[in-house]
């Protein structure tokens, strides 16, 4: 894998720290595969992150928003030592998974059902950033000719 040095970007730009940090994290992060997840677009400005968390109850899971990221962690409570497994295929190891949020995206809710943790996101664009139509004024001479 290639390593990219983003130091020149930090030296030559002002105000792009967040973008550089996101790129740096994406390029240097270890790609974890547990738990598996989906990211889907559910509407024009709505998204859902779904994690397969079989074996975890809602009390074993934590969803937190911090520094522009959704952090999902799971830690299974102490197990009953009296159980003897012949085969153990359902992983219940502790995990932490981070999802970086774009600007103006916020978590609108989370639910746990049938072994799936669903985190709903919504993008709320401020009025100042929404496109708006500007009326074009007509010259005063053209208005005078129409009145005559």
CA 14, chain centre distance (Å):
24
Residue 58, pLDDT > 60, answer: yes
120 is a domain residue:
yes
Q: How many CB atoms lie within 10 A of CB 10?
A: 14
Q: Round the average pLDDT of the chain to a whole number and report it.
A: 82
Residue 47 sits in the same domain as residue 113:
yes
Average pLDDT of span 43-58? 92
Residue 68 sits in the same domain as residue 88:
yes
Residue 23, pLDDT > 70, answer: no
Residue 142, pLDDT > 60, answer: no
Q: By percentage, how much of the chain surpasses pLDDT 90?
A: 39
CATH label of the domain that carries residue 45: 2.60.40.790
Q: What is the number of domains present in the chain?
A: 2
- The residue ranking higher by pLDDT, 138 or 143, is 138
| Strands of 69-74's sheet in order across | 61-66, 69-74, 95-100
Give me the pLDDT at residue 42, please: 94
Residue 72, pLDDT > 80, answer: yes
Residue 45 belongs to what H/E stretch? Answer: none
- The residue ranking higher by pLDDT, 83 or 13, is 83
Residue 133: partners with Cβ closer than 8 Å, 6 or more residues away:
none
**Which of the four pLDDT bands, split at 50, 70 and 90, describes residue 93?**
confident
Give me the pLDDT at residue 146, please: 58
How far is residue 125's CA from residue 128's CA, in Å, rounded to a whole number? 8
Domain carrying residue 23:
1-31
């Amino acid at each position: 894998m290639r390593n990219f040095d983003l130091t020149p970007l930090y030296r030559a730009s002002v105000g792009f720290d967040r973008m550089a940090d996101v790129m740096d994290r994406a390029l240097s992060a270890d790609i974890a595969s547990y738990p598996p997840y989906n990211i889907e677009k559910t509407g024009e400005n709505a998204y859902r992150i779904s994690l397969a968390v079989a074996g975890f109850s809602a009390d074993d899971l934590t969803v937190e928003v911090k520094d522009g990221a959704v952090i999902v962690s799971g830690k299974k409570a102490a197990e009953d030592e009296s159980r003897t497994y012949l085969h153990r295929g359902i992983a219940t190891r502790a995990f932490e998974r981070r999802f970086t949020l774009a600007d103006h995206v916020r978590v609108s809710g989370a639910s746990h059902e049938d072994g799936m943790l669903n985190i709903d996101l919504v993008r709320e664009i401020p009025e100042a950033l929404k496109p708006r139509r500007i009326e074009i004024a007509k010259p005063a001479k053209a208005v005078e000719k129409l009145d005559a």
